[in-house]
Amino acid sequence: MTFNRIMFLDSETTGFDPKVDRCIEVAACLYDVGLAAPVSTFASLLKSDTNAAESINNISPALLVDATPAEKVWPFVERMASRADVIVAHNADFDRGFVTETLRVLKPWACSCNDMPWPVGKPRSSAVNLALAHGLAVFSAHRALTDVDLLVRIFQAATKAGTDIQRLLTLAVRPKTLVIACVPYDKKDEAKAAGFVWNEIIAKEWCRWMPLEDVDALPFKVRWDT
């Protein structure tokens, strides 16, 4: 498959659990891979009465009271996604949990953090560290539009440096299974280094969605449901 256009997406939320928390800001950018340039950009706050994560995303609840209702925001994002071949987010499992059901299944999702073997920087770096590894300036973070812009600039810098973006995307969209790390507590850092996160909500174990063909390269034992 050839990826002609990407839709970058980032969200800000009131917490970490999609079952009880909500998205309060979303930004998206349709990006032409061949031309390494944005095609269109969209961003909006979503109406909410509260924001328990204000200390993280700096979004005052006062901004959200008169924001656009979610049911009017998401159709814009869905229309943009319909023009893309893939949706890319940094820590995609998190963002995918807070979008509409239509967006979850409309296009393949790719994680620029966990699923792309970038040739520069440390594996599974934050977007900020990945940007710095590409020689980019970082002005701010933890707002949806600035984080999407950062992804755009990372992909532009990587393209200019000769990175095979098509290969990164091809690897990132492979079918994935929820894999559980079989590690004792004193080995948890090994799981974290391999991209596993503590799944308090579902399994209460160190988990990661990943292609089963990559399991043999892990330095510890894992299990998964067949």
User: What DSSP element (H or E) covers 56?
Assistant: helix 54-57
Per-residue pLDDT reduced to its tens digit, 110-141: 999 999 999 999 888 999 999 999 999 998 76
Residue 1's pLDDT is: 87
Q: Are 194 and 149 in a shared domain? A: no
Q: Which two tokens stand for residue 83?
A: 């023009």
Per-residue pLDDT reduced to its tens digit, 54-98: 999 999 999 999 999 999 999 999 999 999 999 999 999 999 999
Q: Are 220 and 126 in a shared domain? A: no
Query: 97-114 as b/e, with b when 16 or more CB fall inside 10 Å?
Result: bbbbeebeebbbbbbbbb
Higher-pLDDT residue of 173, 186? 173
Q: How many domains does the chain have?
A: 2
Average pLDDT, the chain: 94
Q: Are 76 and 143 in a shared domain? A: yes
Q: How many CA atoms lie within 13 A of 193 on its CB side?
A: 10
Q: Are 80 and 187 in a shared domain? A: no
DSSP-based three-state secondary structure for 5 = strand
Q: Are 154 and 198 in a shared domain? A: no
Residue 201 has pLDDT above 90, yes or no: no
For the ranges 39-43, 44-48, 181-185, which has the lowest average pLDDT? 181-185
Residue 226 has pLDDT above 70, yes or no: no
Cβ–Cβ < 8 Å for 91, 133? no
Q: Are 75 and 128 in a shared domain? A: yes
Residue 57's pLDDT is: 93
Residue 197 has pLDDT above 90, yes or no: no
Torsion, CA 113, CA 149, CA 143, CA 102, rounded to 10: -70
Q: Are 135 and 154 in a shared domain? A: yes
At 203, the pLDDT band (50, 70, 90 cuts) reads low
Q: What is the pTM of this model?
A: 0.92
The mean pLDDT value for 163-175 works out to 97
CA distance 27 to 91: 15
Residue 202 has pLDDT above 70, yes or no: no
Cβ atoms within 10 A of the Cβ of 67, count?
A: 16
> From the centroid of its chain, how far is CA 163?
20
At 186, the pLDDT band (50, 70, 90 cuts) reads confident
